[in-house]
Chain A
Amino acid sequence: MPEPKQEVPILEAPLLEVRDLRKHFATRRGLLSALSREAGSQVIPAIDGVSFDLHENETLGLVGESGCGKTTTGKAILKLHNVTSGTIRYRGADITSQTQAQFRPLRRDIQMIFQDLDAALNPKVRIQDILNEAVRIGEPGADKEAVQRRIYELLDLVNLKKNKLANFPSELSGGEKRRIGIARVLAVRPKLIVADEPTSALDVSIQAQVINLMRDLQAQFGLSYLFISHDLQLVELMSHRVAVMYLGQIVEMGPAKEVAKHPKHPYTSILWASIVEKRSKEIEDGGAAPAWGVFDFERPRGGCRFAPRCPVYAARGKPAICTDSASAPTLQPTGEGRVVACHFPL
């Protein structure tokens, strides 16, 4: 199993192309205000113009803080959310314009590992039936014996014993639930897996097992992962490329190791500097800890969304261009396959 290659050969057509994706949620309002149709209903942009490509056998890490829209992006790719605008193309076919029924055959190719361990498994169904159902989607028309053979094969793939089949999900440990979740997804032989925080609910010692498993499966089946996580070290380890999201937009994207080592966007820099372990080492080594932004969290006023928290913005004497709503920064290439959306990249 090789290290994730830093230089991914640019294939002619990416597996997944996401262009200018937007998803706006309207705030929930009471019945009476809905009837009165009063103007100015609140709209919250969860994702606001996200574009990226994902190639075959590649892992793209999607990092950011909670509420930055990374999970919404993942679910939009699976059509679990209807997007407001933008396109998602899978092997060239636009899936945003398809209806749910039209999209259903493609669901076999695009699968998702959900963050919540229990959420993905119906608590009242035995493991045997959970897998049986998934295998029947993956192998339509297979006879009973073939289905059972495939179930054993899947258990083997995720290193689980056969005696777990008779159990209900609640009787399994966290790691086992996660493995069943992965086996269920593999049953339909996907090409692309959106992995939404696949290890965040697991213990450290179990997390390593799952990470190893996911890497093995990628090598074995040529899977592509959209790896969503808030754990930066994990993303750095798992991904070929990484995209950093802030308030619904990608602010920096590029090869994982490069982005981690030499961040160009101030937000990326703060994010990586906040890894507690690294930070303690830096302080011990006498190096100055990087300056934090001003506030924990602040809504943007216009222009660059990160400006209110940005140390560079503060250090440069609050240049007007950063808060000018006419000139919001866009992703600009900076070489080595990297792009960054900042007026004053580091």
Chain B
Amino acid sequence: MLEVRAATVAFGAPRSKSLKLALNAVSLVLPAEPSITAIVGESGSGKTTMTRLMLGLLQPTQGTVFYDGLDLRQLDRQAFARYRREVQAVFQDPYSVYNPFYKVDRSLLLPLQRFGLVKNREEAYERIQKCLQAVGLLPGDTLGRYPHQLSGGQRQRIMIARALSLEARVIVADEPVSMVDASLRATILESLYRLKTEQQVSLLYVTHDLTTAYQIADRIVVMYNGQIVEEGEPESVIHAPQHAYTRALVAAVPPPDPSIDWGLDTQALPA
């Protein structure tokens, strides 16, 4: 449904020494049936650049992004509006996405009105309440509040509810839990996971945390230095990693059991 084909993204002047290839001829397809694809990799590996391509926030230097088989650059006004509505984003920082002067209601109401999905306020609120419940929030405790009155986890789930209210088909979530407390991550991940099973929404889940990718993804894509170095089902990527970088990522996760020796005390200091 959403496809990046042979995309290269270069930053810096062409042919200069400082030219940086954020993506180097990368192809990635999000299948039409609801699925969760996780992209993992370190800072600078190109995972955020990939999400910006998929969200239409960035044009590839070379290559093409397709939505439903059509080149994004050739979509007419109507088709582009549909793409904008159906491909939604959940960003890393649940603090900066809200305008602190407005109640969170506004972030939920505006897109519904702009996309013409509701006739009036009552209809809008009815839809919003349903979507808040779908991500495990109580509308009464959420609506009518300012962003600072809500926790990071609540704000992040409101963004998911917002995407849901627009009848999104794809949610691109760039590090949605990295700024949220560890104890609240599970509830956000569960909300994202249930989008797929209950609402038939596909998810592109970008993270540097392999354990959460393993938890929810149907497919894990490992990026390193602007390229995809490994992809496959979670079981094989985690338990039988082929690429040296994937093995390093798996080894970098501390085992949550003090009786397993992770080597903090025993291994030599890395150079």
Decide whether A and B are members of one complex: no
Contact residues of A with B, CB < 8 Å?
A: none
Contact residues of B with A, CB < 8 Å?
A: none
